[in-house]
Amino acid sequence: MNYNQEIESLKEAIEKSPDNLPLRTMLANKYLHFGRLEESETEFQIVLNYDSNHVKAKEGLGEIYFRRGKYSAVIVICEELIARNMASERIMTLGAKALVRENSIDQAQDIYEKILNANPDFEDKELDENLRMPAFPLDNDDYDLDEMFGDGYDGIPEDKDFFLEKPDISFKDVGGMDRLKQEIDLKIIKPLEHADLYAAYGKKVGGGLLMYGPPGCGKTYIAKATAGEINANFISVGISQILDMWHGRSEKNMNYIFEVARRNTPCVLFFDEVDALGASRSDMKGSSGRHVINQFLSELDGADANNDGILVIGATNAPWHLDAAFRRPGRFDRIIFVPPPDDLSKQKILEIILQNKPKESIDFKKVIEYTKGFSGADLNAVVDIAIEQILIGAMKSGFPTPITTQDLITAAKKHHASTRDWFNTAKNYALFANESGLYDEVLKYIK
Ligand SMILES: Nc1ncnc2c1ncn2[C@@H]1O[C@H](COP(=O)(O)OP(=O)(O)O)[C@@H](O)[C@H]1O
Ligand SMILES: [Mg+2]
C-alpha cells in the first residue's frame, strides 16, 4: 500500500467513526510524516476538540509549530506536558531547542537536564553544543563520587581522568624564576609537608597563591611543575571553562572540581584566568555569576569541607579585573608578579627547549640580545621558526643541518615580543590604580 492509499483508507475509516481518536491521531501523524502540515494540524485539532488533554495530539502540534518556527507555541506545549509529567523525550527536545532559539538558555538547560536524567545516552548536536561542553561529562544533581569512583577509591580511573594529571615536569624544568620557586616552596609546599608542625604552632595553612603577569611567562608552567616537584596530582581549569561548561550549572562544576581535588590529595588545583570570575560579577547577567563566585570562595575557604593537602594556585593576565574579595586572608592572600624571564632565565629556557634537538654549540648571550621583552612562549616560538627555516633548507639541499646561533638570531628578528602590550596596559593601572600597592612590583620592573 502506498502512502496515498494508506491515507485514503484511514480517512474512510474515520468517516465511519469520527470519534475514534487513535485512528485520527494515526492519520494526523501520517500527514505530519509526509510534511503535509496543514492537514496534520487540522486532524490534531479535531482530536483535541474531543479530548483537550490528548498528549499525542499536543506533541504532534508541537512538532508542527516547531517546523513552522512558532517557538513560543512549542514552549507552551512542552511546559504543559512537563507539568503534567507526560512529556516525551521528543517534545522535550523540541521544547529545549525552541528555548535555545529564543535565547532562554536557563530554561533550556532545565529541560535538557530532565532529558539527560531520563536518558543519559541522549545526544543531540544542537542541544549538546549550546548547553553542554564536552570536556566535563559529569554534572548532575545527584552525582556521588563514591559511586562514581567506587568504595576504597584510590585514584581516578583512567576513563575519568579528563582533567586530573600527574605532571612529569618539576622545578628543574623551569628556567630561572628562583624567587617564585622559593616563595612557592616556603608558602605552600612546606606547609603541606609539615602540616603537623604548623598546627602545633597554631599557624593556619590554606589559602592560595595568585600569580599575575604578561602571558607566556610561565605561570601555568610553574604551577604544573609545583605539582611535579612534590609528586602531587594536578588539576588545571580555566575559569571560563567552568562558566561555559553548562550554562547555569557553574557552581556545581566548581564544587565538583574541589571535590575531586579533595579525593586526590596531595593535589595542586590550578585556576587559570581567575579574573574571569571577578569580571563576571558585573558582566554576567542575573545571579549565576555571583553564585559561582560565592561557590568558589566558600570552596576556597573550606567552610563545609576539608582542604588539607590541596594547594590552590591561581593565575591571571588581568589582575585589575580581580574582585577584591579574592584577596582577603585565607584566599589569594599572596599575590606574586611573574615578570618576563631575565637573561639568565632566558638562557635556561632556551637550553631546556633545545635539549634534545640537533644543534651546534650556541652562543646564548648573542641570541638573547635579540629577545628584548620576549616571554618563555616567545622563546618557544623562536626555536620553532628556526627549525622551520632549517627544514625548508633541508628540503632543498637534501640534508638537515643542526641549529646554529645564527638560525636563532634570524628567527628572533622575525618574532615580535608579546609582552609589550601587557606592560602598556599594566602601567596605567600601576600608576593610577595602585591603592594597595598591588602593582609595586610592576612599577619596579618597568624602571
Ligand atoms: N621559566 C620557564 N622555563 C621553561 N619554560 C618556560 C618558562 N616560562 C615559559 N616557558 C614556556 O613557555 C610556555 C608558555 O608558558 P605558560 O606557563 O603557558 O605561560 P602563562 O601561563 O604565564 O601564560 C610554557 O609552556 C613553556 O614551554
Ligand atoms: Mg597560562
> Is 164-337 the same fold as 3-126?
no
Residue nearest ligand 1's atom 8 by CA: 218
Angle formed at CA 336 by CA 300 and CA 265, multiple of 5 degrees: 40
* 343-414, CATH topology level: Helicase, Ruva Protein; domain 3 (1.10.8)
Distance 274 CA to ligand 2 centre (A): 11
pLDDT class of 376 with cuts at 50, 70, 90: very high
At a CB cut-off of 8 Å and minimum separation 6, what does 34 contact? 3
Q: What's the CA gap between 7 and 11, in Å, rounded?
A: 6
Q: For 392-423, what is each residue's pLDDT tens digit?
A: 888 888 777 899 999 999 999 999 999 999 99
Q: What's the CA gap between 217 and 207, in Å, rounded?
A: 23
Report which residue type is found at 362: I
375-411 burial: b if 16+ Cβ within 10 Å, else e: bbbbbbbbbebbbeebeeeeeeeeeeeebbbebbbeb
Q: Which atom of ligand 1 is nearest to the CA of 218?
A: 17
Architecture of domain 3-126: Alpha Horseshoe (1.25)
Q: For 294-320, what is each residue's pLDDT tens digit?
A: 888 888 887 777 888 888 999 998 888
Grid coordinates representing 48 are 483535541
Instruction: Tell me if 322 sits within 8 A of 441, measured CB to CB.
Output: no
Per-residue pLDDT, 289: 62
Give percent of the chain above pLDDT 90. 44
Residue nearest ligand 1's atom 19 by CA: 216
Indicate the helix (H) or strand (E) that contains 237: strand 233-238
pTM across the whole model: 0.65
Per-residue pLDDT, 245: 56
Phi-psi region at 333: left, alpha or beta (left = phi > 0; alpha = psi -120 to 50): alpha
Strands 310-316 and 334-337: unpaired
pLDDT class of 278 with cuts at 50, 70, 90: low
Distance 261 CA to ligand 1 centre (A): 24
Distance 260 CA to ligand 2 centre (A): 22
Distance 187 CA to ligand 2 centre (A): 21
Pocket test for ligand 1, best of 172, 221, 415 (most atoms within 8 A of CB): 221
**CA 339 vs CA 173, 196, 333: distances in Å:** 18, 34, 19
Q: What's the CA gap between 266 and 310, in Å, rounded?
A: 6
Distance 208 CA to ligand 1 centre (A): 20
Distance 269 CA to ligand 2 centre (A): 14
Residue-by-residue DSSP string for 34-51: TT-HHHHHHHHHHHHHH-
Sign of CA dihedral 83, 86, 92, 94: negative
Q: For 203-256, what is each residue's pLDDT tens digit?
A: 666 668 899 999 999 999 999 999 999 999 999 888 776 765 555 566 777 888
Per-residue pLDDT, 247: 53
Residue nearest ligand 1's atom 6 by CA: 376
**CA 325 vs CA 278, 300, 304, 331: distances in Å:** 9, 12, 19, 8
Give the closest ligand to the alpha carbon of residue 173.
1
Comparing CA positions, the residue from 84, 244, 232 lying closest to residue 171 is 232
Q: Which atom of ligand 1 is nearest to the CA of 211?
A: 22
Distance 350 CA to ligand 2 centre (A): 19
Q: Which atom of ligand 1 is nearest to the CA of 376?
A: 9
Report which residue type is found at 270: F
> Where in the chain are the domains?
3-126, 164-337, 343-414
Helix (H, G, I), strand (E, B) or coil at 280: helix
pLDDT, mean of residues 58-79: 94
Chain mean pLDDT for the chain:
84
Query: 3-state DSSP: the chain helix, strand, coil percent, rounded to 5?
Result: 60, 5, 35
Distance 232 CA to ligand 2 centre (A): 19
Q: What's the CA gap between 292 and 258, in Å, rounded?
A: 13
Which DSSP symbol is given to 320? G
* 164-337, CATH topology level: Rossmann fold (3.40.50)
pLDDT of 15 higher than 60: yes
Pocket test for ligand 1, best of 174, 217, 352 (most atoms within 8 A of CB): 217
Q: Which atom of ligand 1 is nearest to the CA of 213?
A: 22
Comparing CA positions, the residue from 314, 350, 355 lying closest to residue 331 is 314
- Ligand 1 contacts (CB < 6 A) are 174-177, 215-221, 315, 341, 345, 349, 352, 376-377, 380
Residue nearest ligand 1's atom 10 by CA: 376
Q: Which atom of ligand 1 is nearest to the CA of 215?
A: 23
Q: What's the CA gap between 5 and 22, in Å, rounded?
A: 18
Give the closest ligand to the alpha carbon of residue 418.
1
Strands 334-337 and 164-165: unpaired
Give the closest ligand to the alpha carbon of residue 238.
2
Helix (H, G, I), strand (E, B) or coil at 162: coil
In angstroms, how far apart are the furthest CA atoms of the chain? 98
203-226 burial: b if 16+ Cβ within 10 Å, else e: eebbbbbbbbbbbbbbbbbbbbbb
Residue with cell 543531540: 124
pLDDT of 140 higher than 60: no
Q: What's the CA gap between 80 and 376, in Å, rounded?
A: 58
Per-residue pLDDT, 279: 53
Give the closest ligand to the alpha carbon of residue 377.
1
Distance 340 CA to ligand 1 centre (A): 10
| Burial group, residue 373, by CB count within 10 angstroms (0-12, 13-18, 19+) | middle
Phi, then psi, of 222 in degrees rounded to 5: -75, -30
Instruction: Tell me if 334 sits within 8 A of 210, measured CB to CB.
Output: yes
